[in-house]
Chain A
Amino acid sequence: MNAIFDIISWALLVSGGFLCISGAVGLLRFPDFFTRMHAASVTDSLATTLILTGLFIQADAWIVQVKLVMVLLFVLLTSPTAGHALAKAALHAGQKPALGKQPKTTMEAGR
């Protein structure tokens, strides 16, 4: 039983760590502000969730688990909000998303 829990939690931790690294790579490599921010917010929300869930399974005391859940809730509440505020500020400051040819027409049609 313990081995199964260990495998699950380590799978979560490693995939969270992988998303952190891929998010960092995306932050450096993506073409414009908004795609870079997407990479950063994946690190913020999904990677943190995976890591915290992995730690939740590893934790041996219930008080630690409660604290981890609180941290998770706080992160889930704040990091999308921070991303939202950042994107809105960027739009406000005149940052335009870099668009390809195809999405441009669909966006025009959507309006």
Chain B
Amino acid sequence: MELIINMALLSMLAMTAIAIVRIKDLFAVAMLAGIYGLISASFFVMLDAVDVAFTEASVGAGISTLLMLTTLAITGRFEKADKKSRTRFALPLVLLTGGLLIYGTLDMPSFGAADAPVQEHVAPRYLNDSEQEIGIPNVVTSVLASYRSFDTFGEVIVIFTAGIGVLALLMRSDLPPAKGSKSTASMHEHMVLRIVAKMLIPLILLFGLYVQFHGEYGPGGGFQAGVIFASAFFLYAMLYGMNAARRVIDSVVVQILAALGVLIYGTTGVISLLSGKNFLDYSVLSHDAVHAQHLGILFIELGVGLTVATVMIIIFFTFSGRNQVEGETD
């Protein structure tokens, strides 16, 4: 049964990928990319990787689709016709790379093999001892936020850098302060949407907080929570216009908060350095070693959530603000 479901999901993934390549309407491509994310999330659930599935569903299917649509509002909807010569060059290249990758997999241990390095190296320690060493039931969170917190720090920096990159490329300081663009004004008339959004936004924010602080006990954590939290702001901005959203949370505040998230994460590490331990060794935070792990994970997840949420808001605000400026010069 599981095999049939896996085969169905994987063939749907392949079909979606082919459709994404072939369709020229970028709006449909953005939607298909979201569907691709959702199918991958289902596939991850089949592999019992609920945390990864959660991330893929919220990032791949949720927020990246939204960001792509926001980008499409700036760039236009249809792909330009491709020159034939380029595709003739690309096909052998793709086939060669794909062939090499498949050739590479021949050396790998078969899927789920007990003697594979991934089962023998550190995984047994994580699975057997993390409950005592870290004191939280979700092994993924203990790996992500404690054993491998340095790697996670890198991920947060990557997200932060992406936010800075978007700001550096697209930020306009000469933004007209108080004039809503026409599309948002017409959205304003949608009574049903506005009322349902008013009911949903608090629930979305609450769910974001739940995912943030429940990540130690179930699937979830800073990355997913940040994305969910940001999506509430997206919803508000789309229905009430960018100016209303900027009144709720100012762009400058968002930028400061994004840096603050990285700062919280980094400071947690520096505190352990100053106390004579390794970077991000949480044991200095409290007298009780397990409680210290708890505290450390809480701090860095807070940093992760803050940075992810604010960077998403920064990207969305910058793209939408850009769109607003272009719309007015037309």
Write the residues of chain A forming the contact surface with B, with a CB cutoff of 8 angstroms: 74, 77-78, 81, 84-85, 88, 92
- Bound together, the chains give a CA A77 to CA B199 distance in angstroms of 9
Taking CB atoms, residues of chain A closer than 8 Å to B186 are: 92
Q: Offer 16 A-B interface pairs, CB within 8 angstroms, sorted by A.
A: A74-B203, A77-B196, A77-B199, A77-B200, A78-B196, A78-B200, A81-B192, A81-B193, A81-B196, A84-B192, A84-B193, A85-B190, A85-B192, A85-B193, A88-B190, A92-B186
Report the separation of the CA atoms of residues A74 and B193 in the bound assembly, to the nearest whole angstrom: 14
- The A-contacting residues of B in range 177-234, CB under 8 angstroms, are 186, 190, 192-193, 196, 199-200, 203
Which residues of B does A touch, CB under 8 Å?
A: 186, 190, 192-193, 196, 199-200, 203
**Contacting residues, chain B, for A78 (C-beta < 8 A):** 196, 200
Write out the residue numbers on chain B whose beta carbons fall within 8 Å of the beta carbon of A77.
Answer: 196, 199-200
Residues of A within 8 A of B192 (CB): 81, 84-85
Q: A88 to chain B: closest CB distance in Å?
A: 7
Q: B186 CB to closest chain A CB, in angstroms? A: 8
B45 shortest CB reach to chain A, Å: 15
Nearest A-chain residue to B195, judged by Cβ: A81
Residues of A within 8 A of B203 (CB): 74
Across-interface contacts of B190 in A (CB, < 8 A): 85, 88
Write out the residue numbers on chain B whose beta carbons fall within 8 Å of the beta carbon of A92: 186
Q: Which residues of chain B come closer than 8 Å to A84, judged between CB atoms?
A: 192-193
A-B pairs, top 7 by smallest CB distance, nearest first, are A81-B196, A84-B192, A85-B193, A77-B196, A81-B192, A81-B193, A77-B199
Report Cα–Cα, A84/B192, bound state, in Å: 8
Shortest Cβ distance from A85 into B: residue: B193
Separation in Å of the A60 CB from the closest CB of chain B? 18
Expressed in whole angstroms, the Cα–Cα distance for A84 and B200 within the complex equals 16
Known A77-B200, A85-B193; 14 more pairs at CB < 8 Å: A74-B203, A77-B196, A77-B199, A78-B196, A78-B200, A81-B192, A81-B193, A81-B196, A84-B192, A84-B193, A85-B190, A85-B192, A88-B190, A92-B186
A33 to chain B, nearest CB (A): 15
